[in-house]
Amino acid sequence: MKKGILAKIVIILIFAYLFFPIVATLLFSVATKWTTTILPEGYTFSYYQQLFTSPEFIQSLLRTVYVSVITIALSVVLIVPSIYLTIVYYPRLERFFEILSVLPFAMPGVILAIGMIQMYSSGPIRITGTVWILIGSYFVLILPYMYQATKSGFRAINVKALTEAALMLGCGKLETFIKVILPNIIRGVISAALISVSVLFGEFVLANLLVGDNYETLQIYLYKLQKVDGHLANALVASYFLVILLLSLLLIWLAYRNNASAVRDRGKTS
């Protein structure tokens, strides 16, 4: 009995600790005036309205969406076929890809960024300060997430046997990949993409160092906004929080469905 109450108190404290800043942010983003009182004196949605109608905000949002979409698309197009080909035709390369995919974890973003600035500010590929250098480094940044999440999609099916079964029925190699393999791993690819979206939407260090004012992403805009108007910045953070929350829920749902079907199929795909 006593133990139960203690456990509850601890859990409540942890949740309070976790949610307090979020609730405060939410409240501040809708407060007219909030100085000496415990709760705001009045409420308004005007900051949100201001934010969502601000051309600067729209511009930066579009920029972030643009880099994220291009990076993720590039990543999917390169990683999905690579994993497929290693599993079916070049199993020895698998270890190499595993190592390659965790390499970005070993490199702090700052070092990566400075290295890239030097590498690409002269020579044949001069892309320092342009959006391309950002896309390139974002590609590396999301590589571990993309690789692992996509790989787990592949792990849920017996890729080699399915491929061979389709080939034996007279299916071409590309056709097999599109008709048989892709529909079975697509959920893994989608969750990989969603994880990457949430990583890229929150990214500040690389964007600030590599492109800064040249290409003002959402996070850079937020950074500037903070110094100008706290209420607006909070409205942005709150919106950001909601988007990430929805993404996470979507991910959890996807992961749950993946697991459920994997459990059902276990033992039949030995």
Dihedral (C-alpha) 188, 194, 200, 201: value to the nearest 10 degrees?
180
Q: Which of 168, 174, 227, 228 binds another protein (CB under 8 A)?
A: 168
Q: Which is nearer to another protein, 168 or 228 (CB)?
A: 168
Binding range to another protein, per CB under 8 A, among 53-61, 104-112, 138-146, 162-170: 162-170
3-state secondary structure of 72: helix
Q: Which of 72, 141, 157, 218 binds another protein (CB under 8 A)?
A: 157
Least distance (Å) from another protein to the CB of residue 150?
Answer: 17
**Separation between Cα atoms, residue 136 and residue 169, nearest integer Å:** 40
The encoded tokens of residue 159 equal 């890729």
Q: Which is nearer to another protein, 159 or 233 (CB)?
A: 159
Q: Which of 12, 14, 58, 161 binds another protein (CB under 8 A)?
A: 161
Does position 39 interact with another protein (CB under 8 A)? The reply is no
Does position 183 interact with another protein (CB under 8 A)? The reply is yes
Q: Which of 135, 21, 20, 14 is nearest to 73 (CA)?
A: 135
Q: Which of 25, 59, 82, 158 binds another protein (CB under 8 A)?
A: 158
43 bridge partner residues: 31
The encoded tokens of residue 105 equal 């974890």
Q: What is the DSSP code (8-state) at residue 154?
A: H
Does position 174 interact with another protein (CB under 8 A)? The reply is no
Q: Angle 2-29/230-265 helices, nearest 10 degrees?
A: 130
CB 86 within 8 A of CB 93: yes
Does position 268 interact with another protein (CB under 8 A)? The reply is yes
Q: What character string, x for contact with another protein (CB under 8 A) and - otherwise, covers 235-264? A: --------------------------x--x
